[in-house]
Amino acid sequence: MKKQIFTLILVIAIAFSIVLPEIAMADKCVIPIEPGVNVFEPGQKAIIAWNGTTECLIISTDVISERKVKVLEILPLPSEPDIIELADFQSFLAVQEYIFKKAPKTLGMYRKAFGEAKANQVSIVFHEKLGFHDITVIHAENLNALIKWIKTFLKDVGLEGNIELGNFREVISDYMARGFYYFSLDIIEVPEEERSVEPIFYRFKTQFLYYPLKISAPIGGQGKITLYVITKCLIKGDSYPPQLRKAEYIGFKGKLPIEIRLSEEEIVKIDKRLKDMFKNGGYLTVFVFDGHLEDLNEDFIVGKISMLSPEFSSVKWQVEHVIGLRVCAAIMCIAIVTILLIPIYFISNKFLP
């Protein structure tokens, strides 16, 4: 009799644990979710969409100044961009919405190049004023020629003496040695208050996922960078700079990296220019950096070899974000129900023959 009662208790506990997660997931109250990123936090923010051959980059930077002033931002690029246009901050809000919506329920104008630059020459391949941005893209393969050209450029726009290029000479030389010959020079007019300057959209060809981090090192000081990365497959865990970390969902049952499966339609809602890049959908992964900018000694570069296969990406994501969470919930329910039913066992053990 005792054995039968105890067996019944275990059966009830297991059955309860199988049913309860489904009920809890249905009313969305199993785990209070706190995504570890917020698009309203100051710093650099970027959406990087790479499908293996083409990258679309949406960059937004928060800037602050005690008075109205102009600043220069330099962005090294692996190839000449074929589209440079204004983007919309709504893209970042759409990404943030997906992050919350898909949280685990249980834990300007295009212009062709003017021609290739000769070895010791600098060629302007794009110039356009877009909102607060005055963007010039140049092609250069000689460091001295580039530095000389930038100094003349700064003098022409009234910024001579305001920017010390010596701090950037070494890092620009490193980019050139790695075959980066296109540089976007963005002069931004900074208002007196802190604000997110209008994002800029770049599209360019590249055989690797890319975001320049090292270019920020000479600036120094504290900084925060948040990268919303969209790829066809998941990124291997050891294939990105150690200074970056994956942002996480945090709940009382533990943590999970923010790796979200998106359909093609959802990706297009982020920005219409991403249409046709991800026919079978993709994955959104969030990376963050928060620390000393001088520690950024390498760029965020991920090649195809560092991507998981589409099949393994799907299995890994389902195991971690669906099956794993349900197993976790089931184990917790078994533990809770067992604890509640143990007194019944002892009572039956004492009073029943």
pLDDT digits (tens, 9 = 90+) for 237-261: 778 889 999 998 876 667 788 999 9
Contact 302, 234 (CB under 8 A): no
Considering only 74-78, 114-118, 130-134, which range has the smallest mean pLDDT?
114-118
pLDDT at 32 over 90: no
The answer to whether position 173 is within a domain reads: yes
The answer to whether position 220 is within a domain reads: yes
Structural domain range at position 107 = 61-308
N-terminal to C-terminal alpha carbon distance within the chain: 8
Tokens representing 154?
């700064």
| CA nearest neighbour of 84 among 217, 210, 183, 221 | 183
The answer to whether position 293 is within a domain reads: yes
The pLDDT of residue 2: 40
The answer to whether position 97 is within a domain reads: yes
Structurally, how many domains does the chain consist of? 1
What is the average pLDDT score of the chain?
Answer: 75
The answer to whether position 291 is within a domain reads: yes
The answer to whether position 240 is within a domain reads: yes
Bridge-based pairing state of the strands 282-292 and 259-262: antiparallel
Strands (E), 69-155: 69-77, 83-86, 122-130, 133-140
pTM exceeding 0.95: no
